[in-house]
Homo-oligomer: A and B are copies of this chain.
Amino acid sequence: MAHSHKGHNHVWADDLTRNQELVLGTLAHSAAPLSAYDILDRLRDDGLRAPLQIYRALEKLTERGLAHRLESLNAFVCCADAHCHASGSIAFAICEGCGKVEEFAQPEVESRLKGWSEGAGFVPNRMTIELRGLCRGCASSSPA
């Protein structure tokens, strides 16, 4: 019965396993990032019981760029931009008020960092760029 998701209608890659699809679906329906345990809690009714099941799915999903890990939050988001697999690195703006995350590409930033790397003899294979702060809405409502 495995791989029984043949009949589904999602836009994502079509060769996800059941667990991967469940995890990605959960992320997709959430406005804010979710920790692995958050995800697990929401998938108990679907038969998932152990953290490892979530982590394994997340590993595959992030490898493929369908989900991203927010390092400063120990949490995950669904990739917002279908094209982000093509573009290189991505930056995130994380609102500490409402929890929402915006994903944006900054090619200039990326090339600057690559430039520094070349000069330093550093061979990068992953870059993390995360801004913490307040989104427009939260900044205007809590002036501080």
A interface, CB within 8 angstroms of B: 71-72, 91, 93, 95-96, 102, 104, 106, 108-109, 112-113, 116-117, 120-136, 139
The 4 closest A-B pairs by CB, nearest first: A121-B136, A124-B133, A71-B71, A71-B72
Whether A131 touches B102, Cβ cut-off 8 Å, given contacts A109-B112, A112-B112, A139-B123, is: no
Q: Does the CB pair B93–A128 fall under 8 Å?
A: no
A124, chain B: closest CB distance, angstroms: 4
Contact partner, A136, options B122, B125, B129, B139, Cβ 8 Å: B122
Bound-complex Cα distance A102 to B116 (A): 11
A126 contact from B123, B129, B132, Cβ within 8 A: B132
